[in-house]
Amino acid sequence: MIPKLSARRELDDLKQQELSRLAAVEQRITVCNGTGCRACGGLEVKDALIEEIGKHNLSGRVEVMPTGCQGYCQRAPLVVVEPAGIFYHGVAPEDASRIVSQTILQGDLVEDLLLDDPVSGKTIARHDDVGFYAGQQRIVFALNGKIDPTSIGDYIAHDGYQALAKALLDMEPEEIIDEILRAGLRGRGGAGFPTGKKWHLCHTQQAQPKYVVCNADEGDPGAFMDRSLIEATPHAVLEGMLIAARAIGASEAYVYVRAEYPLAVEHMRKAIDDSRACGLVGEAVFGTDFSIDVHVMEGAGAFVCGEETALLQSIEGKRGMPRPRPPFPAQSGLFGKPTNSNNVETYANVPPIVLRGASWYAKIGTETSKGTKIFSLTGKVANNGLVEVPMGTTLRHIVYDVGGGMRNGRPFKAAQLGGPSGGCLPAELLDVPIDFESLSEHGAIMGSGGVIVLDDTACMVSVARYFLDFTARESCGKCLPCRVGIPMMRDILVRITEGKGELADLDRLHELADLVKSSALCGLGQTAPNPVLSTLRYFEDEYRAHIVDGVCPSGVCEALAPPYRIDPEACRACDQCAKACPTGAVQGTPGAPPYAIDETLCIRCGACLEVCPFSAVVRQAES
Amino acid sequence: MPELLPSKLREEIEGHAEHPETLIHVLRRVQETMGFISPASEAFVADQLDIPISRVHGVVTFYHLFYTTPRGRHTVRLCQGTACHVAGADRILTALSTHLGIVPGETTDNLAITLETVACLGACALAPVMVVDDIYHGLLTPDEAVAIVERALEEEG
């Protein structure tokens, strides 16, 4: 049982106890049990390992530790054997016996579970040599994979709640705010507003009570770092919130988690309960006058609730619709009281800043954007997962050094950054250092940090249409520019992808985009045209190809796609294309080449092209 | 006679009397027990929390995760996020829709399966992804997706 902590000495004593508990084990097998690894059988792997340890009477000497998301989700489930640091990926429950008998008992590697690293092209045995991790600088993610997220003891052993003790016992609220200001921390949820300024404004308000809100309504498609952070290190997020509460003088806090993240909700609830049990949440924390209560509020499925004023409405049990500012939430927020709301990743940055100091933090990053940023790297890149790198890192480093380059050797076409509020950056911009300013200068935004890598099979008009479809559906409908303007733009894009566009549509898109940008009520509406504007800026030739030439160059838009054809020379009549075809357009007899495609039945889905082992399926235009 | 909420749930809601800020939480509890939120449930909640039915209905219809019609025993939620979109989620949707004979938002006639699309499930590295009864399935092909749904039905026994 974790004791009640009423003084810093007790926290330090507990830390020592927990450290010796962790050190008492000779070897430790960490198994990633984040959402991604669970989807691939991570829980079953953990159970199988525990059973094997029991079979070999190793309990007490070898520990199996379920961890939160380690970020290399594509290689799930992940297993690391410590202290040797041996890294296994794609582990199945049946592999457990070999891991225990070979690696744990004899120190040998299980060769077929080792990673063939796309970054270096070598087979990798140790976690620290994995290119995906080696190219990162993990500060916020430092403990992901190192601790059991449901154990407050594990967190305390790794300096957990030391920053809170320092903030409560050694610092005045003004000093905390000053530290955050000097560190240069900016909001990680999208707009990049200086966190210290936000806290200061809230701190100076007279009204009581004040609230602290953690925005974990991570709705941008393609972003999952907040899910990962709460799943893996819920206490770090909570500690950041408690320090913020001290700084602004709040007595109540809410974590608003989207309902699509059940594991994050579970881990955050457990973290709050455990912290309450040992007195880190509650009355008179560490014997000071600081008292706080923390609640978890589950969303009910509305993208717009990621906007802070909408989120506050939702906590109040109302429709989540944004309202105009001023007054800012710092002045009049939740229940009309001063409220500080920050994103999950922002709060997770707070404990390291308080503990290690603003000057240490401010050395990381660029002139205007300090610290690290976590990106969700997905799409047509070899390594998919969560990437934490210093601000100012280039897209090239993220895609090629950490991401291991393009999948299947296809060429890089663009990276979509910042989700529905962001934009697409073309290959010419691979070497631009990424920070808040450079991204907006080039028509994207940092947003929550989603990076979706697109290759030459992506149609940029369709990408823009996809995002506008999304924002049109998710618009709350309160203001007219967003409610009407976005569907109008979407309809134009649909026309273009159906081959019914005209050149004047490009001017109409620009006009509507400017209008929505300048007049929508909230940030989500104002940034919704970005996917259109950035694709127009860098890929206007593709729009023109759709409109003028009547061709979708990448073949995505069915109405404009060149038809498929089977090269009779290359066809081996393996029948895979016919099996894959959803409409029966591919015809032929197995073993008797060649097959042929009936153009009238073909819906241009490309399924045949994907499955053909002999590259016998080609587009008409290519031949 | 509209259906009655079980007495335990009624008591729980009565415990939130005149706390309109708990509306979303209360509606969630109603849905967990009843499967969906009927007009009668809306009226009861409005009465207990002392707010107009219009406000309750407004909230129910605003959020995607509140349902006003009965649901299938299994829920299949297919991700339409960017990463899944790029990885061919459309083809999986077509396969599931064709196989089940329903479009997203609908429930099969025998109340076995409700098919839904969601904006993003946050497991983008495993795209394309779907969730069947809260279990994640990643790196799907259309055939696998159909097979997983069939398995869920078989396990029902």
DSSP state of A553: T
Find chain A residues with C-beta within 8 A of B67's C-beta: none
Candidate from B22, B65, B82 with C-beta closest to A317: B22
Residue B96: its pLDDT value, please?
95
Contact residues, chain B, for A218 at CB < 8 Å: 122
Give the DSSP letter string of A256-297: EE-TT-HHHHHHHHHHHHHHHHTTSSBSSGGGSS--BEEEEE
- Report the residue from B23, B126, B138 with minimal CB separation from A317: B23
Average pLDDT score over residue span A2-23: 93
Domain count, chain B: 2
- CB atoms A222 and B120 under 8 Å: yes
Q: What is the pLDDT of residue B1?
A: 34
Q: Please say whether the beta carbons of A256 and A213 come within 8 A.
A: yes
- A561: enclosing H helix or E strand: none
CA atoms within 13 A on the CB side of A272: 18
The verdict on B147 and B85 lying in the same domain is: yes
pLDDT of residue A172: 98
The pLDDT score that the predictor gives to residue A338 is 98
Residue B26 lies in a domain: yes
B121 domain residue, yes or no: yes
Q: What fold characterizes domain A562-622? A: Alpha-Beta Plaits (3.30.70)
Q: Which of B28, B119, B138 is the closest to A298 by Cβ?
A: B28
Q: At residue A396, what is the residue type?
A: R
* CA separation for the pair A106, A84 (Å, rounded): 12
B→A interface, C-beta within 8 Å = 20-25, 27-28, 55, 58-59, 62-66, 80-83, 85-86, 91, 94-95, 98, 118-127, 129, 134-138, 142
Asked if B86 lies within 8 A of A458 by C-beta distance, the reply is: yes
* CB-count burial class (<10 Å; 0-12, 13-18, 19+) for A482: buried
* B68 located within any domain: no
**CB pair distance less than 8 Å for A302 and B63:** yes
Q: Which of B82, B97, B13 is nearest to A377 (CA)?
A: B82
Superfamily of chain region A8-134: Glutaredoxin (3.40.30.10)
pLDDT attached to residue A9: 95
Measured between beta carbons, the chain B residues lying within 8 angstroms of A384 are 83, 124-127
| B98 contact residues in A (CB cutoff 8 A) | 582
pLDDT band at residue A2, thresholds of 50, 70 and 90? confident
Do B93 and B36 belong to one domain? no
Residue B97's domain comprises 74-156
- Min Cα–Cα distance to chain B from A33, Å: 12
CATH number at residue B106: 3.40.30.10
Mean pLDDT of A183-208: 95
**Best residue in B116, B124, B137 to probe A by mutation, most A CBs within 10 Å?**
B124
Residue A620's pLDDT is what?
64
Domain at A460-549: CATH code? 1.20.1440.230
Q: Are residues B31 and B81 in the same domain?
A: no
Domain map (residue ranges) of chain A: 8-134, 152-362, 372-455, 460-549, 562-622
Residue bearing the bigger pLDDT, A205 or B121: A205
* Whether B128 and B56 share a structural domain: no
pLDDT of A117-130, one tens digit each? 998 889 999 999 99
Asked if residue B58 and residue B78 are part of one domain, the reply reads no
Residue B132 pLDDT > 60, yes or no?
yes
Query: CA–CA separation, B71 vs B63, rounded Å?
Result: 16
Residue A140 CA: distances (Å) to CA of A253, A371, A373, A386: 21, 10, 9, 12
Residue A191 has pLDDT above 90, yes or no: no
- The CATH T-level fold of domain A152-362 is Rossmann fold (3.40.50)
The 10s digit of each residue's pLDDT in A258-312 is 988 999 999 999 999 999 999 999 999 999 999 999 999 999 989 999 999 999 9
In terms of CA atoms, which chain A residue is nearest residue B130? A39
Q: Are residues B32 and B86 in the same domain?
A: no
Q: What is the pTM of this model?
A: 0.91
Same domain, B87 and B57: no
User: What pLDDT is stored for residue A623 in this prediction?
Assistant: 40
Q: In angstroms, how far is CA A442 from the centroid of its own chain?
A: 22
- Does residue B50 sit in the same domain as residue B86? no
What are the pLDDT digits (tens) for B40-60?
A: 999 999 999 999 999 999 999
Please tell me the distance in Å from B143's CA to the nearest CA on chain A: 9
Mean pLDDT across chain A, nearest whole number? 94
Would you state the pLDDT for residue A615? Answer: 85
Contacts of B22 in chain A (CB under 8 A): 317
Please state, in angstroms and as integers, the Cα–Cα distance from residue A227 to each residue in A66, A160, A448, B122, following that order: 16, 20, 12, 7
- By Cβ distance, the residue of A224, A314, A582 closest to B123 is A224
> Considering chain A, what percentage of its residues have pLDDT values greater than 70?
99
Per-residue pLDDT band at B86 (split at 50, 70, 90):
confident
- Considering the domain delimited by A372-455, tell me its CATH architecture: Roll (3.10)
Confidence of residue A601 (pLDDT cuts 50, 70, 90): confident
Q: What is the pLDDT of residue A11?
A: 96
* pLDDT higher than threshold 70 for residue A621: no
| Residue A119: its H or E element | none
Which residues from A are below 8 Å from B42, CB to CB? none
Q: How many CB pairs under 8 A join A and B?
A: 141
Higher pLDDT residue, B133 or B86? B133
Question: How many Å apart are CA A379 and CA A373, to the nearest integer?
Answer: 19
A317: which chain B residues are within 8 Å (Cβ-Cβ)? 20-25, 59
Interface probe with A: pick from B51, B98, B126, B140, most Cβ of A within 10 Å: B126
Same domain, B85 and B145: yes
Q: Is there a single domain that holds both residue B50 and residue B83?
A: no
Q: What is the pLDDT of residue A221?
A: 82
Bigger pLDDT: A210 vs B16: A210
| Residue A243: per-residue pLDDT | 98
Cα-flanking dihedrals φ and ψ of residue B58, to 5°? Answer: -60, -40
Mean pLDDT, rounded, for B138-157 = 90
CA distance A262 to chain B (A): 8
A36 closest CB neighbour out of B58, B80, B123 = B123
Q: Do B82 and A315 touch (CB under 8 A)?
A: no
Q: Which of A226-240, A241-255, A266-280, B132-146 has the lowest mean pLDDT?
A: B132-146
Give the tokens for residue A235: 């206490």
Indicate if B84 and B129 belong to the same structural domain.
yes
B52 and B82 inside one domain: no
| Contact: A380, B86; criterion CB under 8 Å | yes
